[in-house]
Structure 1
Amino acid sequence: MVMRVSTFNQTSSVLQMAMTTQAKLAQVQQQQASGLISTEYGDLGSDAGTVLDLSVSIARSDALISSAERIATRSEMSASILGQISDLLTNTRTLVNATSTDIDIASLQSNAQNNLEDLASLVNTQYEGRYLFAGSLTETSPVDLTAYAATSLTTVNTDYYQGDDYIQTARVGEERSIDYGITGNDDAIEQAMRALSYLANASPLETSELADVSELLISAQDAIIAAQSASGTATNRLETFIENETSFKTEAESLATDLTSVDVAVATVEATTYKTQLEASYSALNVMINLSLVDYLNL
């Protein structure tokens, strides 16, 4: 009877060891397959908190980078449109400077009307369903020429504008932001609209007024070029932020990988060791079970 109790205790102990070894083998095999220490934070020990913080930081960087990339594209597009407006004003100035007689006035006014409509179309540009020059009213076209006609070269007139004064802002951190773009009622665009509208609608348009028109066009173009430069600066700042944030994200991902990755070569050796131990345990169990059966039959 003593012999059977002793054998039972030994068998139970070896069986428990075999089950423990089998669990370790399963864990190592999973590590071999995934390349990770574990897919659960709780299994990472003292590194769990750090890995969790890194995961949050990486997700935050992803969101910031994605947003900054979209905004940088908008800012770049705004700068491109302002460049086209500058070209349009250059064209108009050329026409104005080439007009010296009343005979040329009708042609100049026709071209000015076309350029005014082109200007309105440029300011009404959309990107991803958003109007770029409407302030916060991104679903409203900023320019409507229906009831707009400038009757003075010196009086500010924004009757064409349907947006608001909000300047778009890109959040690039908890305490950092970058303003970008301009609104359709900005001085630069207003002067351009006023000059072209006056040229197109003045009745009669006198050749003596063309020098003042040219000066207003020059003022508008200078302001447009300054706005284009500001948009370019905003784009460059956004691209610098994207580059820096991407570098941070890469470093965070690398550190997270170091903390969560398993050495596959070491895991392979451990798996081999556990397999050997498991085979030995099963062999010992087999012997013990057979001995117990013989003892039982010999009673």
Structure 2
Amino acid sequence: MSRRGFLAAGGGIAALTVLGACGNSGDSGSGGNAPTSAAPPAEREVQTDKGAVKVPGKAQKVACADFFGAFVVADLGLVPVGASGGGYDKSGPLYAPKLGKVPVVGDFTKPDPEKIAGTDPDLILRTIDTDDALYKQLTGIAPTVVVSFQKLSLTEVTTRIGDILGRKEEAGKLLAEYNKRTQEIKTKHAAVLGKYTFTYAQSATDTTFWTLGEKWTDTKVLVDCGARLAEPSKSQTDPTKEYSMEQIGILGQSDVLLVPSTIDGTAEAPENAPLTSNALWKQLPAVKAGRVFPVLSGAASLGTGLELVTVFDKVLTKLAG
């Protein structure tokens, strides 16, 4: 299951709210290429959701105890020694070469402490809320950092994890790249962005669909690029809002409709068919005008956000005609 599939199945909705380019090769779990500047301290104290935790000055062997953390770790130039969940080998050309062969140490939300211990980590990263019993198990293996991404934006995730891993420089470069790319989109496509409104919608079940508001990670990336949301997404306060298929007509207020794509961003994801094959969908003005575009979904880090920026650039170019 890919990150998009995990979200489409509902497992990631609670874990991913407002949460993106990776290093050329990344450090391996055995150390890799450390900067030649001043050596980091042997140990530092960082603040986590569980309080202050002492961590390595610059972590080298990070085990990710849930699904989302691996993408952020890879963004910052480090290949984790273990990752939870699956589908990393199908996570696209940016991530599959780095994460596809990483040992799996649990499912999407529940790690296997024994498997994590087998990777001999120097730090364990947990990016969703964690009960005390599991936390105690993990801290018995290695310093464990719990930072819920549910409380952070994608840019905040990069800054926070960059600090925790001792990779502030890498985080700063990634943030600068994201800000540069999104501003370039705003400038390059100002006319199109001023002309059209957008809605990102996807199937929730066979009989319902979601509109994705600004607090949804993918939508926030689009807004950072200058997209103006149409109602009802514009006013919704939650990341997602669920509607019955009989209410598809509410999407008629949008000039452009965006739907989840396959991992390469070129075709509509098959799991979205309950929405886009519905007769009411075909009556929407944007559909009749040919302004429906598949784009990447499931942004879990700033690197994955940058993948979406690239795809959205192509959408805006097509709209410009």
Which structure shows the bigger proportion of residues in helix conformation? Answer: 1
Q: Which of structures 1 and 2 has the bigger CA Rg?
A: 1
* Length-normalised TM-score, structure 2: 0.18
Q: Give the number of the structure with larger relative contact order, counting CA–CA contacts within 8 Å between residues 6 or more apart.
A: 1
Bigger strand fraction: 2
Q: TM-score, structure 1 length as denominator?
A: 0.19
